[in-house]
Structure 1
Amino acid sequence: MIVHIYSALNLLWILCNSAILNSLQFALYLFVRPFDNALYRRIMGGVQALWMDMSSSCFPETKLEVTGELPTDPSRPAIIIANHQVDADWWYIWQAARFYQGAGNIKIVLKDQLKYVPIIGWGMRLFEFLFLRRSLDHDAKHIKAYMDSLIHDEFPFWLVIFPEGTTIHTEYVQKAHKFAEKTNRPKFEHVVLPRTAGLQIILDAVADVQPDIYDLTIAFPSYSGEIPTYDMGYDRKIDTQIPSMKSLLAGKKPGTVAIHAKRFSYSEAVSDLEAFLDNRWQEKDERMSHFIQHNAFAAESGEERQVLQLSHSVLPVFRLWFGVTMSFFLLPLVMLSFFPLYTIWVIYCFVYSIYDRTTNFWWPYIFNLVLERAVKTREGLRLKWA
């Protein structure tokens, strides 16, 4: 009972803080994006990093044991692929990015339905995550336009995609095995056969920048290879220490999460994507088998092993609420200063136009220009969200 109350209060607190950030996101969308989309994305990246810092203070402290090479340069784009064990996988990938100051770079490929979730879904939508409908005709055009826009604005995206398509469960593994038999592709014991179509479209769309590909394998403490059924959801009967978003909300600390990362060049992946993914997932399956026996990933030749201890501070929440409090005092002062000056300026322009009709009375034209811009922006929004 106490755990459920704690989870509910924790979720309510996160939603409350996220709703405040939603208002900031909407303000940026309305007042910055129409004039400078690249600037809007840079500012929104900072808001995204703030949300991650704020949410981290509400969840158990994160400790990652990393072998291999993660992306560490926030000024360079990257594509991150990973196996998908539980619904919390994205959280730990984002935490790793946060350690290297890349929390604002993260863009996650998600199901289209998630963007309609109140508050959190709205935030992800304004963070410009990539939502797909799993309709190849629609998604291909959407991905192309999405990636073209990021590249045009020179935004250093770290795009996270789970090629397996969903979290692992026994029914999905059986379905993947049948598909592998038909297509002469390998079967795996601890991971699911990856899909290629979506990632292929993404790689084709980023050909101009050719980002590096980072292959991540994620495993959790006490993992024994148990695969849940679909009805079990993210719960386990044996591997009870494996986290989920529900257990994180309840404050249950999972221990040290293991991540193995390996970097590949764009050309290595794009030349034969199906073979590339099959080879990577074969390696993942072997790594997971090793993890079951040793509770750690083996460091390959030349690979480093490091422990990332992520900060767990309430300071970001304090900054957020301090900003909200100050806005209540400063915003009225700004408005009181702006409107009298604006009124005087309008009166001056009107009087001047009466006595000098040869002079263009230009302030109405500025007003009309702003209105036209607003109409075009609204039409663009309608097309984008359609």
Structure 2
Amino acid sequence: MEVSRPLNPNDVSKRHALTPLRLLRGLICLLVLLSTAFMMLVFCGFLTAVVFRPFSRHYSRTVTSFFFGAWLALWPFLFEKINKTKVVFSGETVPKGERVLLIANHRTEVDWMYLWDLALRKGCLGCIKYILKSSLMKLPVFGWGFHIMEFIPVERKWEIDEPLMHQMLSTFRDPRDPLWLAVFPEGTDFTEQKCIRSQKYAAEKGLPILKNVLLPKTKGFCACLEDLRGSLDAVYDLTIGYKHQCPSFLDNVFGVDPSEVHMHVRRIPLNNIPTSENEVTTWLMDTFILKDQLLSNFYSQGGFPHQGTEGTLSTMKCLVNFVAVIGLTGIFTFFALFSSIWFKIYVSLVCVYLASATYFNLRPSPILSS
């Protein structure tokens, strides 16, 4: 029997040194991810999410979800099969195919990427969406992908964010469209300095003092519930912990950390969540008090309770998906570089459109059906 050892959440040592081989492998992986993203966006994303959308938003999302689910699956393949990061799920086993709102703690800048590991196992990878800070939409190529996949950008100023959130959330109500909408109620990633500020604010306002999470911000979560309650099946409450230190984006790419990602899952049916904003605020605070305790136990005991709720990814399925995405990218690259001049013009025009549409948050409206 494996004995869990106490963890130090502030440990700054790396699991692996950044050797020249790891550096080279990471750069190759990053190049593959970037090039496949670019070609999928130009040749698939533009057609499925822009050209098809005026005729049917539902079928546009279905096809877009298929292609970009395949691309997103490259990331769990990188994490679990190439970098050998162990992803451990605990808590409850959730069913496939539900329309859900996900809430999670925000320990580091890449928490949101590990939600893909759970979504892939549940067949919902292509329909996962995030509420994320608008600055991430400015990332080259990846920002275009966030726009195509209908992530909701926020400025973290409610007077600016409220109308945009309600407008975009109103388009997610179709029960035919699979949906995993992820929200990080803390609003920013956890650091010691932010925790001290959060604790000081909590003390001034008579709120609970939390050690491992920040006080949750409730307006965005309440807005999601208000707009989507009638079309959701449940809320998934995810608590994420890392061994043996919190990774950065480059740690993920180069495979130096983390050694293990632990994800505790709770499924809360919608009828168990109150309807009034004040009661929802209290419910969310209670949820984060529970998260704080779960993380305290995780750091002292080395794991969450009830581990082993999900199996490992199939290496064969990961490889088949990888070959398919690389094959498509190769075909698209040939057309873009070595075929007719019209393909080069097409690629140039699509790049201009995607850059403009992402910057101004523009999407075509359905004209025939939703």
Paired AA for residue 65 in structure 1: V
Q: Is the 8 A contact 2:128 2:182 kept in 1?
A: yes
SS of 2:224's partner is: helix
Q: What is the aligned counterpart of 1:18 among 34, 37, 59?
A: 37
Shift in CA distance, 324/217, structure 1 to aligned 2, threshold 3 Å: closer
CA distance in structure 2 between the aligned counterparts of 1:382 and 1:90, rounded to whole angstroms: 24
% identical aligned pairs = 24
Q: Tell whether 2:152 aligns with 1:130.
A: yes
SS at match of 2:166: helix
Q: Is the 8 A contact 1:212 1:265 kept in 2?
A: yes
Runs of 4+ in 1 over 6 A off after TM superposition: 327-331
5+ long unaligned stretches in structure 2: 1-18, 341-355, 364-370
TM value normalised by structure 1 = 0.75
CA contact (8 A) 2:132 2:151 kept: yes
1:7 counterpart (26, 41, 54):
26
1:39 equivalenced with 2:77 (yes/no): no
- Distance, in Å, in 1 between the alignment partners of 2:25 and 2:35 is 15
**Larger Rg: 1 or 2?**
1
Structure 1 gap ranges (5+): 223-238, 336-377
Partner of 1:288: 295
- Whether the 8 Å CA contact 2:147–2:361 is kept in 1: the answer is no
Within the candidate set 91, 104, 107, 1:68 is matched to 91
TM-score (norm 2): 0.78
For these two proteins, the number of residue pairs brought into alignment is 317
Name the structure 2 match of 1:384: 362
Note closer, same or farther for the CA distance 1:325–1:259 as it changes in structure 2 (3 Å cut).
Answer: closer
**Cα contact 1:37–1:153 (8 A) shared by 2:** no
CA RMSD of aligned residues (A): 2.8
**Structure 1 residues 253, 309: closer, same or farther in 2, change over 3 A?**
farther
The counterpart of 1:258, out of the listed 262, 265, 269, is 262
How far the C-alpha of 1:110 sits from its partner, in A, is 0.6
Equivalent residues of 1:83, 1:163 under 8 A apart: yes
Q: Could you tell me how far apart the structure 1 residues matched to 2:190 and 2:108 are?
A: 7
Report the CA distance between 1:67 and its aligned residue: 1.9
Q: What secondary structure, in the 3-state scheme, does the structure 2 residue paired with 1:219 have?
A: strand
Q: Which residue of 2 aligns with 1:243?
A: 247
2-structure distance, mates of 1:195, 1:188:
14
Listed as ranges, the matches of 1:298-337 within 5 Å are: 298-299=305-306, 305-312=308-315, 313-325=318-330
- The answer to whether the aligner puts 1:278 opposite 2:285 as a matched pair is yes
Change (3 A) 1:311 1:243: farther
Amino acid at match of 2:155: R
Q: Cα distance, 1:127 vs. partner?
A: 0.7
Distance 1:254 1:328, change over 3 A: closer
Answer yes or no: is 1:82 the counterpart of 2:104. Answer: yes
Verify the 8 A CA contact 1:61 1:310 in the aligned structure 2: no
- The 8 Å contact of residues 93 and 309 in structure 2, kept in 1 or not, is answered as no
Letter of the 2:273 partner, please give it. A
Structure 1 counterpart of 2:61, which letter?
R
Deviation at 1:160, TM superposition (A): 0.8
What does the per-residue CA deviation read over 1:61-105, in whole Å, with 9 as the maximum and x for residues that have no partner?
45322222254322x210111111112211221111101111112
Quick check: 1:144–1:201 contact (8 Å CA) kept in 2?
A: yes
CA contact (8 A) 2:49 2:61 kept: no
- Of residues 118-127 and 206-215 in structure 1, the stretch that sits farther from structure 2 once superposed is 206-215
Other structure's SS at 2:90 match: strand
User: Which secondary structure state, in structure 1, belongs to the residue aligned with residue 362 of structure 2?
Assistant: helix
Q: Which residue does 1:182 correspond to in 2?
A: 204
